[in-house]
Chain A
């Protein structure tokens, strides 16, 4: 904060200097005034478009984002198993005991493995028709329907 003491009354010298300066500024040539006007218009355009830098930042990162997305899709496609990595173990004659195991440690978390394991189960069941025929004969002999 400035005190009134600081803002002294301008002397005649200061007033004359100021008047002369104002006079010289008021009588600039047309070319100078035109350039100043152009500069001002540029500044105003820049001020009006101040959001542009944010947009430009998005545009700058858009190609990088697209590349990253493409890389992610490629990785997912490559990681999708071309052959099922689940095998069926048939250690018991009881069909309800048919289980699937996976050679992949994270198979339980992989939806593709689960789907593939379901397909295996159906195929294995179709392949053991003799077993089902034997079970039917045995149960028929014991009078179980």
Chain B
């Protein structure tokens, strides 16, 4: 279990751990080296996640840089185990801010058709309802083709499902860390993730069937 007492899922989206104390303290060289390693290890995936969510390279760079700066300036003094969920929480707050800014344009372009859906807070353990998926739709594809199809399918996901899928599946965070990063309950994470998996399987199976016919 991560030491995420101050990162426990909160009801208010975008709630922040208190950074004031950290800002007053200096960072020693060892922490700076650790921070460098952490950021170097996470930057590529963070950029790809931002790019998947925003579909704009410059926006993705801006959001990743903002998240790096925010983590370094305000939260680098916190335990290193908290950095990852903190970083992604900052990253997704930045992504949401940008999406809000471009929201009207994006809605008119139909990039996020399911964004208005309210699929929060289901509660039950949704993995018990996962049906037997049968042959996986991505099995016969190369990595590049897989990613291309996956990206197309991800574009059709509602924002919160995309968040859950990116953090749980692509970034590999556990349920608790994903909940901390998303600022919601673990039940919500499971729900969003389950629905994302279902939607992606259907989407990719359809795309595969179209290719074969």
Contacts and interface: CB of A to CB of B under 8 A. Distances in A.
B64 A39 contact: yes
A60 to B, nearest CB: 16
A46 B72 contact: yes
B138 A13 contact: yes
Contacts of B30: none
A47 B40 contact: no
Interface stretch (B42-50, B101-109, B113-121, B155-163): B42-50
A18 B167 CA distance: 11
B44 to A, nearest CB: 4
Contacts, number: 130
Interface stretch (A23-31, A73-81, A82-90, A124-132): A23-31
Contact of A43 (B39, B169, B174): B39
Contacts of A20: 138, 143-144, 146-147, 150
Contact of A25 (B27, B40, B44, B136): B44
Contact of B43 (A2, A26, A39, A47): A39
Contacts of B172: 18
B150 A17 contact: yes
A11 interface: yes
B69 A21 contact: no
A69 B65 CA distance: 43
Interface string B58-99: 000100110011011100100000000000000000000000
A47 B35 contact: yes
Interface string B23-35: 1111100001001
Interface residues of A, number: 39
Contacts of B73: 43, 46-47, 50
B45 to A, nearest CB: 5
A25 B52 CA distance: 11
B139 interface: yes
B192 interface: no
A21 B1 contact: no
Contacts of A42: 65, 68-69
B35 A44 contact: yes
B124 to A, nearest CB: 13
Interface string A1-42: 110011110111110111111111110100011011001101
Given A1-B1, A42-B65, 20 more contacts: A2-B174, A5-B125, A6-B174, A16-B146, A19-B143, A20-B150, A21-B150, A23-B143, A25-B47, A28-B47, A39-B43, A39-B61, A39-B65, A43-B65, A44-B39, A47-B32, A47-B35, A47-B72, A47-B76, A53-B23
Q: Would you list the 9 A-B pairs with minimal beta carbon distance, nearest first?
A: A47-B72, A43-B68, A39-B65, A20-B146, A43-B72, A20-B147, A25-B44, A23-B143, A16-B138
12 contacts: A2-B175, A7-B174, A13-B137, A16-B146, A28-B47, A42-B65, A43-B71, A43-B72, A44-B35, A47-B76, A50-B25, A51-B26
